[in-house]
Amino acid sequence: MLVEHSLFFVLLAYRYLRLIVNVAAFLLLRPIAVPENPLLTSKDVTVVVPSLALEQDRDEFQETIRGILTTDPLEVILVTIDENVERVKLMVDSMATTKVRVFSVSQPNKRRQMVRAIPEVRTSITIFADDDVKWPKTILPWMLAPLEDEAYGGVGTNQKLRRAVDPLFSQRVWGFLGAMYLLRRNFDCAACNYMDGGLPCLSGRTVAYRTKILSDTAFTDGFTHEEWNSEYQLNADDDNFITRWLVSHGHRIAFQYHREAEVETTLEDNPKFLKQCLRWSRSNWRSNITSMFIERHIWRQQPWSTYAVHLTTLTHWALLWDIGLLYYCPKEPWVFWPVVTLMAISKWIKFVGHFLRHPVDVLLLPVSVVFGYLHGLIKLYAACTLHVTAWGTREGADANDAYRMIHLTQTAYEQVLETKDSVSVTTEFFPHAIHLAHDDLY
Beta-carbon neighbour count of residue 411 at 10 Å?
7
CB 304 within 8 A of CB 188: no
Q: Are strands 252-256 and 75-81 parallel, antiparallel or unpaired?
A: unpaired
Distances (CA, A) of 364 to 164, 172, 182, 345, 348: 16, 9, 16, 15, 11
d(CA 329, CA 54): 54
| Average pLDDT of the segment spanning 384-413 | 67
pLDDT at 231 (0 to 100): 82
| H helical segments located in 32-84 | 58-69
d(CA 234, CA 403): 8
Dihedral of the CA atoms 204, 73, 268, 280 (nearest 10)? Answer: 0
d(CA 245, CA 247): 5
pLDDT at 432 (0 to 100): 42
pLDDT band at 292 (very low <50, low <70, confident <90, very high): very high
pLDDT digits (tens, 9 = 90+) for 133-170: 999 999 999 999 999 999 999 999 999 999 999 999 99
pLDDT digits (tens, 9 = 90+) for 309-355: 999 999 999 999 999 999 999 999 999 999 999 999 999 999 999 99
| Average pLDDT of the segment spanning 407-436 | 47
Beta-carbon contacts of residue 120 (< 8 Å; ≥ 6 apart) = 77, 101, 103, 438
| Average pLDDT of the segment spanning 371-387 | 96
Q: Is the pLDDT of residue 380 over 60?
A: yes
pLDDT digits (tens, 9 = 90+) for 38-88: 999 999 999 999 999 888 888 999 999 999 999 999 999 999 999 999 999
pTM of the model: 0.90
Dihedral of the CA atoms 348, 349, 351, 353 (nearest 10)? Answer: 140
What secondary structure letter does DSSP report for 74?
A: S
Top pLDDT among 54 and 375 is at: 375
pLDDT at 23 (0 to 100): 98
Top pLDDT among 233 and 26 is at: 26
CB 286 within 8 A of CB 237: yes
pLDDT at 430 (0 to 100): 44
CB 146 within 8 A of CB 257: no
